[in-house]
Structure 1
Amino acid sequence: MSLVEPIPTEPAVPWRPVQPLTRDDLDRMPDDGHRYELIDGVLIVSPAPKRVHQHALGNLYYQLRTLCPAELTVLFAPFDVALAEDTVIQPDLLVARSDDFTEHDLPGPPLLAVEVLSPSTRRFDLMLKWSRYEAAGCQAYWVVDPDTPSLIAWELRDGAYVQVAKVTGDEAAHLTSPFGVTVVPADLIS
């Protein structure tokens, strides 16, 4: 009798759920410092962000919070935005009507979603999240790249995103949705 396990002849097949994951499945994920999101029933796990990411996020939060009208709320991740039963995402920063929040989540699109790019999230932020926010009717979507530094902003017009700003370094983006604000990417990382 051999004590050595036989070598498999076929490559291992990664585990996949039989059906798309839902909000209930997401609620059972561990609180371990990772960000867990669902996009069309597929689990997306992201590591904790780096210092430059958090620095840019904090500066932008402060700027938006200072200018935010009383009827709106600015929040930063982690906070769930439930776009559908199989799509629950956590934008790095969001602005929504204060009355639209529950204690647990925002059950629908925010007025503004902001993602600060990281190497591990860049493709999701620029493609998947961009398209899900657009389809859900999120009025404005901004992407900040702290490494460049740069900002690209889109606004929803006739059901589709239109780029309204693309600035780098010391250039200023004068944005109006969901309220007036001027963002200079270099200021976000200083």
Structure 2
Amino acid sequence: MVLMQPDQLYNLPWRPNLPLTRDDLDRMPDDGHRYELIDGALIMTPAPSLRHQSVVVNLVCLLKAACPRDLKVLVAPFDVVLAPDSIMQPDLLVARSEDFTERELPTAPLLAVEVLSPSTRRIDLMLKFSRLEAAGCASYWVVDPDTPELIAWEMRDGAYAQVAKVAGDDEARLTLPFGVTVVPADLIL
């Protein structure tokens, strides 16, 4: 993971102390990296590992099987636009079908999920957590494939409250955005 400021970017105008925006993000190269903006700072991450992608696929299957018809489950890369200077690509997201455009989700999702990796752990647990909380994302989960562990938070009175923290074969019975039971050990198979 590389965190870059505007004056460090290749092929972008030098704009000291100005946050990057969607227009800047649109000019990034199609080079196999994932580019996101959080409060105007560019975050670049390499392609995920096999274990990471296995967890994402297993979560997608689990969520798709329980997902109501009026909601949609998607995986990265797909832009979630929280503000002109905050465009994220959660590993997995759930939102109302009607909220999507062909290009992006222009509002906070109902659920954002990140699978932790050494290069993204701090970003996922701190920056993305606080930015999604501020945007009103109803539920945020992180999965640590190394433990394996799931931590889930839900919005309560404008702030995230932890509603589950389970590891191994323990079950998390979650209700937002819809009822689903998650067993972390099952996600790494």
Q: TM-score, normalised by structure 1?
A: 0.92
Which residue pairs with 2:111 in the alignment?
Answer: 112
Where does residue 66 of structure 1 map in the other structure?
Answer: 65
Q: Deviations over 1:121-154 (max 9, x none)?
A: 0000000000000000000000000011000000
SS of structure 2 residue aligned to 1:128: helix
What secondary structure, in the 3-state scheme, does the structure 2 residue paired with 1:58 have? helix
SS in 2 for 1:45: strand
- In the TM superposition, 1:153-172 aligns within 5 A as 153-172=152-171
Does residue 148 (structure 1) correspond to residue 150 (structure 2)? The answer is no
Letter in 2 for 1:87: S
1:59-98 pair list within 5 angstroms: 59-98=58-97
Question: Any gaps of 5 or more consecutive residues in structure 1?
Answer: 1-13
Asked if 1:41 is matched to 2:40, the reply is yes
Q: Which amino acid aligns with 1:108?
A: T
Structure number, greater radius of gyration: 1
Match of 1:178, SS state, is coil
Unpaired segments of 5 or more residues in structure 2? 1-5, 9-14
CA distance in 2, matches of 1:44, 1:113: 17
**How big is the alpha-carbon RMSD for the aligned residues of Structure 1 and Structure 2?**
1.0
Distance (Å, rounded) in 2 between the aligned partners of 1:147 and 1:78: 23
CA distance in 2, matches of 1:71, 1:57: 21
SS state at 2:43 partner: strand
Letter matched to residue 120 of structure 1: S
- Once residues 65 and 28 of structure 1 are traced to their aligned partners in structure 2, the CA distance between those partners, rounded to angstroms, is 33
Q: What is the match of residue 174 of structure 1?
A: 173
Equivalent residue, structure 2, for 1:52: 51
Aligned to 1:8: none
Post-superposition CA distance 1:53-107 (Å, at most 9, x none): 0000000001101110000000000000000000000000000000000001000
Measured after TM superposition, the shift of residue 119 of structure 1 is: 0.5
TM-score by length of 2: 0.92
1:143 match: secondary structure? strand
The 3-state SS of whatever aligns with 2:131 is helix
SS in 2 for 1:155: strand
* Distance of 2:30 and 2:179 partners within structure 1: 36
Q: Which residue of 1 aligns with 2:23?
A: 24
Shift of 1:31: 1.3
The alpha carbon displacement at 1:15 in A equals: 4.0
2:11 alignment counterpart? none
Give every structure 1 segment of 4 or more consecutive aligned residues whose post-TM-superposition deviation is greater than 3 Å. Answer: 14-17
User: What's the secondary structure of 2:62's corresponding residue?
Assistant: helix
AA matched with 2:92: L
Measure, in 2, the Cα distance between the counterparts of 1:23 and 1:117.
25
In the alignment, residue 156 of structure 1 is paired with which amino acid? Answer: M
* Matched residue count: 177
CA–CA separation in structure 2 for the residues paired with 1:175 and 1:81? 23
Partner of 1:122: 121
Q: Name the CA distance, whole Å, in 2 between partners of 1:115 and 1:90.
A: 9
